[in-house]
A = this chain, B = another copy of it.
């Protein structure tokens, strides 16, 4: 692994552990036992490190929802999308837990993030329009309701981990806690899904949890 990559990995780990505002460039360099000068050879400044990590986040988020693209696969995939999304937020919790502050201190990052959020929200809206159309009869969702709903889904998805972090230390947060996040988001859509779909998604989520429990040890950054 090149030093550039090591810097990015160390930054993520330290940001998650101590909070991005308690971790400066010197701490990252100390941690890797390289010099500050070395770090500044690879990155112009601290903000550039965070912006680079944000590009990584964007890719991870894309992969997380890919399986849910309308018209592909079964409704059970909704379960994957929910759990994957919560996992991405967990993986990069330093970012989502300090959004306002991070964006305020870096206009470039703010522009990147905002553009990205608009696209994602529009996509989410389209996906929900597709997923939630079953009950489109009497209780049918207006376009306004759909927008509000999509925003609620977004807010809960992005902030569930932060909600958790307040009642638990990072190293006490477990896979079932992430699953709870998926159910938390699902609850918002529940009134607009039929019983069969809800059952399908529940089953998928429990299957995913079992896989996760077996496969690998739970790492704070993974």
Residue total for A at the interface (Cβ-Cβ under 8 A): 40
Contact of A104 among B19, B139, B192 (CB under 8 A): B19
Q: Which A residues are closer than 8 A to B by beta carbons?
A: 18-19, 21-22, 97-101, 103-105, 110, 113-114, 117, 139, 145, 148-149, 151-152, 154-156, 158-160, 162-163, 165-167, 183-184, 187-188, 190-192
A16 to B105, CA, bound (A): 14
Is the pair A187, B145 in contact by a Cβ cutoff of 8 Å? yes
User: In the bound complex, do residue B191 and residue A100 qualify as a contact, i.e. CB atoms below 8 Å apart?
Assistant: no
Contact present for A155 and B151 (CB under 8 Å)? no
Pick from B22, B97, B99, B151: contact of A184, CB below 8 A.
Answer: B151
User: Is there contact, CB below 8 Å, between B98 and A100?
Assistant: yes
* CB proximity of A115 to chain B, nearest CB, Å: 11
**What residues of chain B lie closer than 8 Å to A156, measured between beta carbons?**
152, 155-156
Given A151-B184, A158-B159, 16 more pairs with CB closer than 8 A = A19-B100, A19-B101, A21-B101, A22-B105, A100-B162, A100-B165, A100-B166, A110-B166, A139-B191, A145-B187, A148-B187, A152-B188, A154-B163, A155-B155, A156-B156, A159-B159
